[in-house]
Amino acid sequence: MQSPNSILITGASSGIGEALALAYAVPGRQLWLTGRDSARLAAVADAARAKGARVTAAALDVLDRQALGDWIRAADDGVPIDLAIANAGISGGTGGGDGLSGETEEQARRILAVNIEGVLNTIHPLIPRMVARKRGQLALMSSLAAFRGMPGAPAYCASKAAVRSYGEGLRGELMGQGVQVTVICPGFVRSRMTAVNTFPMPFLMDADRAARIVVQGLAANRARIAFPWPTYAVSWLLGVLPPSWTDALLAQAPRKA
């Protein structure tokens, strides 16, 4: 695949989104970055510009379908977007509320909305344009949590499962129209989202390492980028084993505060 010249990244103000923005920041490349925290987003944009990239950043909520769609279409009118990474997402403790009660009903509803509708609001303004150009790539941020519903984070797991399934189906739907689709399934990555976890996180990796894995996988047009492999293997196995075998084990799994 030809190296993308114009890249959109949502949730670019921290975590993997920030690391991806900096990994893709090279002289002459156009980056379109969004995030909810304007101060952090501005800092990421400045760091990307220091590496030579051209950067346009906007503090936008991915749930604001109209505003986000208008901004994306305007960006695509300026420098057609080659790669869109729908990265923005939240988990229990990071999506508002008191931050102490995990997935309450309100948090569950917001997690499902942000993590699913936010992805749809990011990619659908671009799909007809990419199809018309017969080129482009969409990357949907799922998680290894997508393979099995976990007692400590049912809404988060459900939202990421929906993104994974939707992305895999969309890949097949758009494959013959010149548009590539990849689903990204990371394990534990150091970020504001995992910072609220008080339990052990196996194979926790830095965001910059995760970004390198994602960049390489997208360049190869991999259908699924899942890492690290030991966590991926366990997640996959938990998803295929009968629930009667795993329910008792998972009931003892640690939860967010």
**Which has more confidence, 94 or 247?**
247
Query: 87: burial class by Cβ within 10 Å (0-12, 13-18, 19+)?
Result: buried
Categorize the per-residue pLDDT at 100 as very low, low, confident or very high, splitting at 50, 70 and 90.
Answer: very low
Q: What is the pLDDT of residues 146-187, one digit of tens each?
A: 999 888 889 999 999 999 999 999 999 999 999 999 999 999
The amino acid occupying position 122 is: T
Number of Cβ atoms within 10 Å of the Cβ of 243: 11
232 is catalytic: no
Place of tokens 């994974």: 164
Number of Cβ atoms within 10 Å of the Cβ of 15: 23
Residues sharing a CB contact under 8 Å with residue 225, sequence separation 6 or more, in sequence order: 182, 183, 184, 185, 213, 214, 217, 218
Q: What's the rounded mean pLDDT across residues 42-71?
A: 98
Per-residue pLDDT, 198: 55
Question: Cis (ω within 30 of 0) for the bond into 228?
Answer: yes
Distance, C-alpha 65 to centroid of its chain: 17
Number of Cβ atoms within 10 Å of the Cβ of 204: 14
Per-residue pLDDT, 243: 81
Map residue 188 onto helix, strand or coil: coil
Comparing CA positions, the residue from 128, 117, 140 lying closest to residue 222 is 140
Q: What's the rounded mean pLDDT across residues 43-64?
A: 98
Per-residue pLDDT, 197: 58
Place of tokens 């080129």: 135
pLDDT at 39 over 60: yes
Residue 79 is classified by DSSP as S
Residues sharing a CB contact under 8 Å with residue 113, sequence separation 6 or more, in sequence order: 63
Domains and CATH numbers, the chain: 6-251 (3.40.50.720)
Instruction: Report phi then psi at 32, rounded to 5.
Output: -115, 115
pLDDT at 232 over 90: no
Distance, C-alpha 16 to centroid of its chain: 8
Of the residues 24, 156, 166, 232, only one is catalytic, namely 156
Lay out the sheet containing 224-227: strands in order across: 54-59, 30-35, 6-9, 83-86, 137-141, 180-186, 224-227
